[in-house]
């Protein structure tokens, strides 16, 4: 699909020249039918005091038979125009695929008692997600084969992927329409069967500590704004609405802290954020606000050792890091841990049992800095090249002395 779009764009950009001359694939047809012309149906749209006319607004209506008729006519015209390039398309495709290692396996990462990894196989479009009890010698267990999920579908995308704490269940979401419209499923990894528990338009999800309660966020069907969080008990029928974000400038998401102690609900706008929380082992508890939202105040939180670690831009254009007791984490109890630096932007924080890992930007480059929480000594991970990209990777283990990160450059593959 991407190759066809690329070639079609090239043909459109060079169309008149191509028709008069020739190319490596042969002459384009001189007597080609004229392209389909979309009907103009003026629609007046007024927003923010400005009025404009959209002649093609009607093409948004997927249920209108005329829309599909027109799109199919465009597709047929493209196929006819590009017919002389079929052999070239095939040659380019084979060359591109020849540079890709189709049968491959990712490095394993630990979640709970298992090491998870992804396999790809030659000729298959989608990944196969697997796990082992031991990273090296354990027997492979296929957790989710996305190729099987795609059978009979015209499109398939995997969204959320959340194993329960005990590793027995998997909550995951799939989109089979291509509109980032995901359905939540729950799979019993012991038997391989799907449970009846399901939800539509789910953006992301997080397990409570009891291995039977799921929190998930849904989108509005019209605006696609993530605005509601539900609590669902497996086998319990309907889900309970826990929180609805009323402000249309905010989206919400749900996450579990790395130390597995808390469920966080993050309300995010372009210039302001607000975090709510509840104990992961008490899923029926009410949500509490960590720090009330304010204009132009952005913050994010993680947890470890009875403290919330908070990255905040209050009084710090490039952000600073503070801590607060999880019994009362409001601003009055904030204690500065990492001071603001005008020349260094703190982009993210990753607390571990004994360390805090910072992703930073300085002089246009990403840096990864490790802070020893006992001694306050700090050091940066060194990289071998002057220009590169680096960020923190999959780290689901809290009490560890290892951190996984991703690295790549223009001459070093990721």
Does 20 or 34 have the greater pLDDT score?
34
Q: How far is CA 126 from CA 96, 161, 257, 363, in A?
A: 17, 15, 29, 38
The rounded distance, in Å, linking the Cα atoms of 294 and 274 is 8
Confidence of residue 16 (pLDDT cuts 50, 70, 90): very low
Of 129, 205, 112, the residue nearest 167 (C-alpha): 112
**Interacting residues of 69 by C-beta distance below 8 A, sequence separation 6+:** none
Q: How many Cα atoms occupy the beta-carbon half-sphere of 285 within 13 Å?
A: 16
| Beta-bridge partners for 99 | none
Which helix (H) or strand (E) segment is 337 a member of? strand 335-338
- CA dist., res. 138 & res. 143, Å (int): 14
Tell me: pLDDT of 19 over 50: no
- Between CA 38 and CA 71 the distance in angstroms is 9
For the chain, percent of residues with pLDDT exceeding 90: 87
Structure confidence at residue 135 as a pLDDT band (50, 70, 90): confident
CATH superfamily, domain 156-289, is: Prolyl oligopeptidase, N-terminal domain (2.130.10.120)
pLDDT confidence tier of residue 11, bands split at 50, 70 and 90: very low
Average pLDDT over residues 187-193: 97
In the chain, where are the structural domains located?
Answer: 2-98, 102-152, 156-289, 302-414
Average of per-residue pLDDT across 249-260: 98
Whether 20 has a pLDDT exceeding 70, the answer reads no
The DSSP call for residue 341 is B
More confident residue, 1 or 57: 57
Please say whether the dihedral angle defined by the alpha carbons of residues 187, 193, 198 and 201, taken in this order, is positive or negative.
positive
What pLDDT, on the 0 to 100 scale, is given for residue 62? 84
- Whole-model pTM: value is 0.84
């Amino acid at each position: 699909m991407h190759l066809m779009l690329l070639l079609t764009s090239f043909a459109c950009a060079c169309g008149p020249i191509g028709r008069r001359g020739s190319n490596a694939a042969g002459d384009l047809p001189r007597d080609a039918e004229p392209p389909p012309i979309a009907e103009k149906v003026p629609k007046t749209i007024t927003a923010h005091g400005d009025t404009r006319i959209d002649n093609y607004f009607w093409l948004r209506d997927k249920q209108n038979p005329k829309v599909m008729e027109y799109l199919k006519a465009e597709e047929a015209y493209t196929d006819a125009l590009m017919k002389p390039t079929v052999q070239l398309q095939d040659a380019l495709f084979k060359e591109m695929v020849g540079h890709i290692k189709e049968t491959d396996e990712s490095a394993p990462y630990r979640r709970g008692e298992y090491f998870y990894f992804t396999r790809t196989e030659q000729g298959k479009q989608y990944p196969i997600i697997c796990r082992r009890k031991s990273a090296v010698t354990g027997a492979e267990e296929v957790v989710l084969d996305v190729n099987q999920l795609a059978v009979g579908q015209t499109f398939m995308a995997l969204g959320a992927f959340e194993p329960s704490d005990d590793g027995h269940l998997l909550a995951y979401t799939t989109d089979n329409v291509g509109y980032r419209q995901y359905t939540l499923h729950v799979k019993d990894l012991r038997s391989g069967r799907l449970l009846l528990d399901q939800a539509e338009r789910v953006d992301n999800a997080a397990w409570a500590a009891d291995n039977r309660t799921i929190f998930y966020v849904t989108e509005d069907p019209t605006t696609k704004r993530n605005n509601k969080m539900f609590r669902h008990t497996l086998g319990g029928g309907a889900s309970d609405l826990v929180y609805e974000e009323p402000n249309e400038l905010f989206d919400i998401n749900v996450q579990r802290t790395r130390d597995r102690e808390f469920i966080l609900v993050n309300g995010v706008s372009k210039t302001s954020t607000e975090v709510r929380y509840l104990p992961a082992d008490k899923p029926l508890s009410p949500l509490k606000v960590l720090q009330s939202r304010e204009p132009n105040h952005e913050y994010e939180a993680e947890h470890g050792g009875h403290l919330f670690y908070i990255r905040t831009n209050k009084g710090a254009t490039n952000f600073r890091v503070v801590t607060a007791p999880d019994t009362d984490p409001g601003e009055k109890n904030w204690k500065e841990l990492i001071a603001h630096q005008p020349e260094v932007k703190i982009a993210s924080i990753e607390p571990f049992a004994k360390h805090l890992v910072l992703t930073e930007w300085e002089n246009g480059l990403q840096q990864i800095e490790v802070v020893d929480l006992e001694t306050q000594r700090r050091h940066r991970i060194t990289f071998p090249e002057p220009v590169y990209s680096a960020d923190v990777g999959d780290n689901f283990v809290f009490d560890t002395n290892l951190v996984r990160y991703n690295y790549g450059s223009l001459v070093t593959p990721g």
